[in-house]
Each structure stands twice: as structure tokens, then as C-alpha cells.
A = this chain, B = another copy of it.
């Protein structure tokens, strides 16, 4: 008799952003006349840049002619895109990554959640607390997380690494030895970053204990401080212990186009087994490539015209971030992040709980953010705002918050 994967029953509530979406829908049906300011989910608002649109139209035209029509894409991505990525994201920074170490996909979320499949079922998994929920939930589904402790709000088998005001939201090495370590910098949700020296320490640690670092660098384009690392492969030895996830969603507004990539060096070998080969096999068997037209759009991100337009978009979002951070600090809030990442991580006032603050902002002033506790127990007492809104909405959000 067919039965389900019971690990799914260990998942807590529904996916954070689905819960928020439901609360927002309910609010909107009760308050049809209020204009909500949505700074919750990390979705972009600026349209696709002209150079990328042009590439999309051109590629669509190619799909309409027998001579230029493209069917199944190469499993791991078109050469033109993999080459452009290597050239612009890695070689330009002096990082030695080959085109065939790039795996093009439909986004970092898919890859971040599926990567655990190629590792051993009994892997000890370390995650930050607070953390982007996908790392945790994908391991819960796979049966690695153990049971959820309702009181501690933690899974029994995961190794949690607190990210707090005290440690600048960069974790210490955990007490228990992990096999897989998820790190994300610039960080979602805290908006804080890691220094190159500190990241090198993590790489050295991983090499020492034989762990693999799963490094989510989806927000690297928001780094303004030139001393901060854009890629974990800037660290010595990272090719032997790290996998990097990158996205076109946030740097080029592709949340609705879907494109990302994962980098696995051929030097990443575990007990004689090439992790690159495993992921290639997984990609080839369970995925069928990103759309040709979207891969051409990705290529255009690196054209000189496209790159310029995208820098402009990022600057616009970072202007929001800077404004939000300064204005909230002026209003008396304790605020983190927002300098090299599009997220503001603020402390709720008077020790209010994250969800109470969420409800207050939604119900009293029609502003939507993300409750920090949705990212883990150490997120309790914090609240995430994104800089992905328009400048006008960022202004309006602050105006309303000042009325509280």
C-alpha cells in the first residue's frame, strides 16, 4: 500500500512566505482601500533592463525559425552562458574556475534545496540561526533533521550556529562536527556580510574536518565594500571543500525569469568520488536545462550595455537600503544589514515578538515585512525589511512607521 514520506510531517507550518501571503490576502480583503507597502518577500520591483529585453526578443525570434530553433538545451547549460559567467564572475576577479564547473539552472532556490540529495543520508548538517528556511526544510524532507522540538523551536539532528548581535551575525565554529555547512553571505535574512579573512577561516575549518561548505552567494552583487568576498572561491582551498550558489534573480531582476547557477570544482572529491560528477548526473537525470531564451537573457547581463543598466538597478535598491537604515536608526530603532545587502534587519521595539510586530505593522499601518522568528529562534525579536521596493514606497513605509 502506498504511503507517504513521513519526514514531510515534521515540517513546521507552511513555508514562511506562504503564511505571510495568506495574512496579507486576509488583510486586503478586510481593507480593500488601504494601499499596502510590501517590504516582505525579497522580490524585485524594477523591470527587466533594456539590453536584456533585447536579448530575449532576439532569442524568441530565433525560436521561431527552423534554422535557429533550439530544442533541449545542453544539460549543464549553453557554452555561451557558462563562458560569460566564468569570464565575468570569476576570471575578472582572478578566480580560477572553468566553464565546465558551472551548472546552469532555473535558480539558486532549486539548487540550494536539491544539493543535499547527492550527500549521505546521515550527513550532519549545520545551519545558521536565523537562516533562509529552504536549507532547513529540504533537509527535513530528506529525513536528516530529526524531530522538531516545539519548545526550543529547533530540529533535534541539525546543528544550529547562532548568528547574533554579539558575533556580528557571523557564526562561530559549532561544537558538534558538521559534514555539510550552509553559509549565506551577504546574508539573508540579516543583511550582514562576512570578511574575506573570516571566510578563509571557515574554508580552513572545512578542509580540516572534511566538511563541505554550501555557500549561497545570491546577494554578492550588492557588495559595495571592495574588501568583502564576492565568491567563496576567493579563499585558498575552497575548490576542495565548497559549492557555490549564484542567482540572476536579485542582481538582474530575474525572479520571474528564473536563472541561476551552481559552481562545483572538479577538485571537490570525497573519498575518491567526484562531487562534480554526482551533481552532473543529478542535473542530467532530474532536470532538463533552463530555457534557451532565458540563458540568452543571462548572457546579456554581462554585455557592457546590460552590465551598466544592472549596476543602475542595484544602486537604486541600495539607495533604498541606505535610506531605510538611516531613517530607522534616526527613529530610534537598532538596525543591522543594509550596507552590502538589500536587507535591513531591525530589532523589534520593547522586546516585542517578531510576529506581534508583523501584525502591528500590517494591521496598524499597512506595512508588510518578514518576522525574524520565521528564520529561526535567534531571529525572534528581529524583523526583516527589503530594499526591493520602490523609493517612494520606502519613503512611505518610513513615514508610516514614524506614526507608530
A residues engaging B (CB < 8 A)?
1-6, 8-9, 11, 14-15, 18, 41, 43-48, 50, 53, 56-57, 60-61, 63-66, 69-73, 75, 106-107, 109-110, 113-114, 117-121, 123, 133-134, 137-138, 141, 143, 179-180, 209-212, 253, 255-258, 270-271, 273, 275, 278, 281-282, 284-294
Q: Say how many copies of this protein the assembly contains.
A: 2
A-B contact sample (19 more), CB < 8 A, given A8-B118, A110-B287: A2-B179, A5-B118, A8-B278, A9-B273, A15-B281, A45-B66, A45-B69, A46-B69, A63-B256, A63-B257, A70-B256, A106-B106, A109-B288, A114-B286, A138-B285, A257-B293, A258-B288, A291-B291, A291-B294
Q: Are A110 and B273 in touch, CB under 8 angstroms?
A: no
The 25 sampled A-B contact pairs (Cβ below 8 Å) are A2-B120, A2-B123, A4-B271, A5-B120, A9-B273, A14-B284, A15-B281, A45-B66, A47-B64, A48-B63, A56-B60, A56-B63, A69-B253, A70-B256, A71-B253, A71-B256, A106-B106, A109-B287, A113-B285, A113-B286, A133-B285, A141-B285, A257-B293, A258-B289, A258-B290
Q: Smallest Cβ distance from A61 to chain B, in angstroms?
A: 8
Bound CA–CA A294/B297 (angstroms)? 14
Residues from chain B with Cβ under 8 Å of A257 in the complex? 63, 291-293
Q: Smallest Cβ distance from A123 to chain B, in angstroms?
A: 7
User: Which A-B residue pairs are the 4 nearest by beta carbons?
Assistant: A1-B210, A43-B71, A113-B286, A71-B255
Q: Are A53 and B63 in touch, CB under 8 angstroms?
A: yes
Residues from chain B with Cβ under 8 Å of A210 in the complex? 1-2
Q: Are A4 and B286 in touch, CB under 8 angstroms?
A: no
Contacts A72-B41, A285-B134; A117 near B141 (Cβ below 8 A): yes
Residues from chain B with Cβ under 8 Å of A256 in the complex? 63, 69-73, 289, 291-292
Q: Are A119 and B2 in touch, CB under 8 angstroms?
A: yes
Residues from chain B with Cβ under 8 Å of A48 in the complex? 60, 63-64, 69
Q: Are B41 and A65 in touch, CB under 8 angstroms?
A: no
Q: Smallest Cβ distance from A69 to chain B, in angstroms?
A: 4
Bound CA–CA A196/B141 (angstroms)? 36
Residue among A2, A56, A63, A212 with most chain B CB within 10 A: A2
